């Protein structure tokens, strides 16, 4: 049985759609997951929301800012304190500088032992 020319064209489109559906199904079944976060939804990224709350509580609510330059200076002071001098529970209650020094010492010891 011969199909008319227009019917054959529609059959080809249906085949392409089926192929696309198969590809999409395979992609969905694979272990690739896209991380979509909705803006303004704190439950989507708790780490950022926790950090934002800490900045707000410890810096923004504690200082009056005269102008933009004053705000930048005070926020920079807070950032340096937070990143260099404050112990973090994620780092075993060590400051980031202490943690970096311990990590470097461990790497040096490991390299020294491997070179023997």
pLDDT tens track for 42-100: 667 777 788 888 899 999 999 999 999 999 999 999 999 988 888 888 888 898 888 98
- Out of 36-40, 74-78, 79-83, 108-112, least confident range: 36-40
Residue 40 pLDDT: 67
Overall residue count recorded for the chain in this entry: 116
- H, E, C per residue of 7-66: HHHHHHHHHHHHHHHHHHHHHHHCCCCCCCCCCCCHHHCHHHHHHHHHHHHHHHCCCCCC
Tell if the pTM clears 0.75, that is, is over it.
no
Q: How far apart are CA 110 and CA 100, in angstroms?
A: 15
Query: Is the pLDDT score of 35 beyond 70?
Result: no
Asked if residue 7 has pLDDT above 80, the reply is no
89 — phi, psi (to 5°)? -65, -30
Q: How far apart are the first and last CA of the chain?
A: 80
pLDDT at position 65 is 92
* Residues facing residue 98 across a β-bridge: none
């Amino acid at each position: 049985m011969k199909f008319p020319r227009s019917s054959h064209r529609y059959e080809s489109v249906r085949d392409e759609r089926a192929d696309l559906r198969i590809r999409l199904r395979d992609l969905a079944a694979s272990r690739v997951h896209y991380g979509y976060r909705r803006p303004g939804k704190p439950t989507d990224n708790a780490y950022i929301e926790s950090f934002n709350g800490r900045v707000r509580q410890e810096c923004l609510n504690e200082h009056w800012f005269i102008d933009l330059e004053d705000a930048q200076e005070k926020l920079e002071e807070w950032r340096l304190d937070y990143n260099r001098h404050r112990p973090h529970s994620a780092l075993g209650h060590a400051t980031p500088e202490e943690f970096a020094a311990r990590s470097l010492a461990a790497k040096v010891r490991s390299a020294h032992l491997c070179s023997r």
